[in-house]
Amino acid sequence: MQSSFCFWNDASNPIHPASAVDYMPRPQLQAMQLHRLQVTVRRAYQQVVRFRDRMDAAGIKPEDIRGLADLARVPFTVKHDLRDTYPYGLCASPLSDIVRLHASSGTTGKPIVVAYTANDLAVWQQVIIRTLAAAGVHRGDILQNAYGYGLFTGGMGLHYGAEAMGCTVIPISGGNTDRQLMLMRDLGVTAISCTPSYFLHLLDEAEKSGLDFRKEFKVRVGIFGAEPWTEEMRRRIQDLSGIHASDIYGLSEIIGPGVAGECLHQTGLHIFEDHFYPEIINPDTLEVLPDGQVGELVLTTLSKEAMPMIRYRTRDLSQLVAEPCPCGRTLRRLKRISARSDDMLIIRGVNVFPSQIETALLSIRLASPHYLIVVDRKDNLDTLEVQIELTAETFSDDIRTLETLHKRIGQAIYEITGVHAQITLVKPHTLPRSEGKLNRVRDNRRRA
Ligand code: DLL
């Protein structure tokens, strides 16, 4: 059925040759994973002092990894390990073999530096091609890449994969929204990659300039990630723009974008399991959870040379889906990552995730997707305020309609979170926007 350059999936889309492995029978995939895991653990044990010390302390040797389940005995790696060994302490390759460095900005102190060999870059290209192909992007597409270029992995990561796929790439990076819109229209852009919040901003600015996105632009697909977004936000983006909004996941420590991506069925993000081995753990007990249970995602790189990551605790909350996907890919899926464990807000003793507020808000058609969550403490009591922009449509509504909107938003948030929030409707275009990752939470308690 499959020839090397032209075979077809269920939707009669040609399958890119790089994606063939997405359809590999699972026993074959697992054999490949085990072999790669053994090689990676052996290499890290030989080359990375911190890893070897941890393994020795746990009484485990690389030879003890006889099956994939044995990975559960190996110690975890956490973000602090990268900070403590800054900049090159976790490298398993000599500096002379490292051809690229990226860094993720830390909130305090030094950034986290991640390294790539030429082979690592080739793998990165391949997983981006597979991500783009799964999302329906193909050779000939004109891709406007509005992820930031530079030390952030988004820009260059997407760039080289898209180019290798045969897309025409516009390396515009983030920001300069007017120019983004002008080029998007003039150059006939068919695919865009950026954070979902930046795409919302682009839509907003297009509307402000009197441009009808559906009529005046040719964009068909969006490759959105790098920040949490909800299913409701996806629907809102798709309704406003008419494009297919696809989720892409990744993190610098593992490779950057391209760890997992959605297919056209949007039933979760297929993990490129031949390169990244996923586990879900209970973050309190650290035990590995079965597929289908929600917990913290832990990733092990299976082919990374420069900086192998073994059982890296991502802090991202998700669950693994093993049921077959209609697209035919045999790769397990990650449910959309809507939160990080450290994103949780505790308000008057109640656990609230920002994604719950987004879900509540966007369940109301007239509520705008531009919002800000402000948490504070007054008289020893936590307060939660949700500021929501009015849309051009609601701004001119009469006071009674606005009162109803105000009440409905408050109710929806209470129903989902169990917390009463103060709702503040603000003028259109007044809340902060971002060219990259948008932080929609201002927790003033943390500053006190
Ligand atoms: O954000 C890599 C990336 C670039 C992913 C472009 C997708 C597109 P970091 O800056 O290291 O790398 O941030 C990684 O961002 O641990 C998640 O918390 C969050 N994140 C990334 N993608 C998603 C997503 C890049 N699709 C951190 N949904 C991760 C939710 C995401 N959160």
Spell out the domain ranges in the chain.
1-340, 345-447
For the chain, the average pLDDT equals 94
Residue 246 pLDDT more than 50? Answer: yes
The pLDDT, as a whole number, for residue 6 is 38
Centroid of ligand 1 to alpha carbon of 248 (angstroms): 8
For β-strands 312-318 and 295-301, DSSP reports them as: antiparallel
Ligand 1 pocket (Cβ < 6 Å) reads: 104, 147, 153-154, 225-228, 247-252, 256-257, 314, 316, 337, 340
Average pLDDT over residues 417-435: 95
CB-based contact 65:38 (threshold 8 Å): yes
- Note the pLDDT tens digit of each residue in 22-43: 999 999 999 999 999 999 999 9
CA separation (Å) from 51 to 67, 102, 131, 283? Answer: 20, 22, 31, 21
Residue 7 pLDDT grade (very low, low, confident, very high; cuts 50, 70, 90) = very low
**Ramachandran region of residue 104, left (φ > 0), alpha (ψ -120 to 50) or beta?**
beta
Average pLDDT over residues 285-292: 97
Centroid of ligand 1 to alpha carbon of 105 (angstroms): 13
Q: For 90-104, 219-233, 284-298, 387-401, which range has the lowest pLDDT when averaged over its residues?
A: 387-401
The pLDDT, as a whole number, for residue 149 is 97
Centroid of ligand 1 to alpha carbon of 397 (angstroms): 38
Residue 1 pLDDT grade (very low, low, confident, very high; cuts 50, 70, 90) = very low
The pLDDT, as a whole number, for residue 9 is 45
The pLDDT, as a whole number, for residue 5 is 39
Residue 13 pLDDT grade (very low, low, confident, very high; cuts 50, 70, 90) = low
Residue 397 pLDDT grade (very low, low, confident, very high; cuts 50, 70, 90) = confident
CATH assignment of 345-447, given 3.40.50.2000, 2.40.240.10, 2.130.10.10, 3.30.300.30? 3.30.300.30
> 3-class DSSP state for residue 229?
coil
* Residue 443 burial (CB count, 10 A): 16
DSSP state letter for 288: B
To the question of domain 1-340 being in CATH 3.40.50.12780, the answer is: yes
Residue 156 pLDDT more than 90? Answer: yes
**Ramachandran region of residue 411, left (φ > 0), alpha (ψ -120 to 50) or beta?**
alpha
The pLDDT, as a whole number, for residue 447 is 62
Average pLDDT over residues 258-268: 97
Centroid of ligand 1 to alpha carbon of 350 (angstroms): 26
The pLDDT, as a whole number, for residue 448 is 55
Residue 164 pLDDT grade (very low, low, confident, very high; cuts 50, 70, 90) = very high
Substitution candidate for ligand 1 out of 249, 255, 298 with most atoms within 8 A of CB: 249
